[in-house]
Structure 1
Amino acid sequence: MPKKTLKRLMPDPGTIKNHKYLSLLGSRLHDNNLWHLNRHSAAGAFAVGLCCAWLPIPFQMVLAAVLAMTFRVNLPLSVVLVWVTNPLTMPPMFYFAYRLGSFLLDKPPHYQHFELSLTWLGSAMSNAGPSFLLGCGVMAMVSSATGFMVMHGLWRWTVSRRWKLRRRGR
């Protein structure tokens, strides 16, 4: 089930390899391991994508693509998994990360009246920044490890189930 579903959702490697802007990456983009879908590449892609999703930085997809090329895991899956954080999910996820960081640092959550100014942003980040960044780091590691193990286990379970069905003659 996971392989067929993931293959159907992934874009065609030929289209991506021939894209005019992506040709800047050169021959690294032509590595077959970046496009092959197996238990290890899918589990690694889940780890990379979910880790990058928790990082509070712009261009998370670029970082996911670079890490996928570095670790030679499935590139499209790594990039797509970054979309876990989107404008709808980002506020609750990052709020949870801030609360987790505050708990781990044993600091009470600090709330300020919102203003749209650089001075307010600097003040808010100096107060809440360490808690927020710690929470994001912890959640990146936990979700990355969990995603890797769940995908690895799901893949193994699916393959063993198919082998059992074959032995029974179905």
Structure 2
Amino acid sequence: MPRKFLKRFMPDIHKLNRYGVLKPFGTLAHDPNLWHLNRRSAAGAFAVGIFFAFMPMPFQMVAAAAFAILFRVNLPLSVALVWISNPITMPPMLYGSYRVGAFLLNQPSEPFLFELSWAWFQASISSIVPALLLGCIVVGSVFSGASYLAVRKIWRQAVQSAWDERIKLRRQRLRELKAEFKQRRQNLRDEAD
């Protein structure tokens, strides 16, 4: 079941409180619904976490936590999913988002070299940043929605599979009990004769 798989990776709220990780959110982060894991909260956490993974902004985890609290979805899962964007995956994610944004704005995608400097930012703010931001929002929304639907479908299939297995085991047990009852009845008849 998905719950058992995801629970293995979830942090303990008491440990997080001890280290003061949740202090910026005050009492809002202590809502029990933010820590429960069910189909709705897991799917919502995937949607929030993956959306913010595509956003080119500092403190993505804080934004994901704030929106997890706002939408009352699983907080640790939404924050953990932000790490899909890491130093290895971020360049292709941003470049792909930029290409989508340039396509939507109907402008040619320009080759550029990224520099972590104020001068580069000022020079590219009018040409690259609008396409990048639009692309990140569109691509993040598409992947966020797709992950929401996929998690709900996978969770439902896992629950349905578990129910089917229970029904199969119950039917098998019922057949065994009927066969045992039939055998006992036959033994009683044989003893009576």
TM-score by length of 1: 0.93
Specify whether residues 39 and 126 from structure 1 end up closer, same or farther in structure 2 by C-alpha distance, changes over 3 A only: same
Q: Deviation per CA, 1:136-160: give whole Å up to 9, x if none.
A: 0101110110111000111000000
Contact 1:100/1:135 (<8 A) preserved = yes
Deviation at 1:114, TM superposition (A): 5.9
Matches within 5 A, 1:54-133: 54-112=54-112, 117-133=117-133
Letter in 2 for 1:2: P
Query: Which structure has the greater CA radius of gyration?
Result: 2
Matches within 5 A, 1:3-22: 3-22=3-22
Letter in 1 for 2:23: S
Deviation at 1:110, TM superposition (A): 1.2
Classify the secondary structure of the residue corresponding to 1:73.
coil
Letter in 1 for 2:168: R
Q: Deviation per CA, 1:84-119: give whole Å up to 9, x if none.
A: 100000000000000111111111111246666533
Specify whether residues 29 and 167 from structure 1 end up closer, same or farther in structure 2 by C-alpha distance, changes over 3 A only: same
Specify whether residues 157 and 75 from structure 1 end up closer, same or farther in structure 2 by C-alpha distance, changes over 3 A only: same
Contact 1:64/1:79 (<8 A) preserved = yes
Within 1, Cα distance between the matches of 2:15 and 2:24? 15
Contact 1:54/1:140 (<8 A) preserved = yes
Deviation at 1:27, TM superposition (A): 1.9
Classify the secondary structure of the residue corresponding to 1:15.
helix
Q: Higher mean Cα deviation, 111-120 or 73-82? A: 111-120
Listed as ranges, the gaps of 5+ residues in structure 1 are none
Q: Higher mean Cα deviation, 101-110 or 85-94? A: 101-110
Q: Higher mean Cα deviation, 9-18 or 61-70? A: 9-18
Which residue of the partner structure matches residue 29 of structure 1?
Answer: 29
Listed as ranges, the gaps of 5+ residues in structure 2 are 171-193
Within 2, Cα distance between the matches of 1:143 and 1:99? 16
Give the RMSD, CA atoms, in angstroms. 1.6
Q: How many residues align?
A: 170
Within 2, Cα distance between the matches of 1:12 and 1:20? 13
Deviation at 1:42, TM superposition (A): 0.2
Specify whether residues 18 and 114 from structure 1 end up closer, same or farther in structure 2 by C-alpha distance, changes over 3 A only: closer
What percent identity do the matched residue pairs reach?
51
| Structure possessing the higher relative contact order (Cα contacts under 8 Å, 6 or more residues apart) | 1
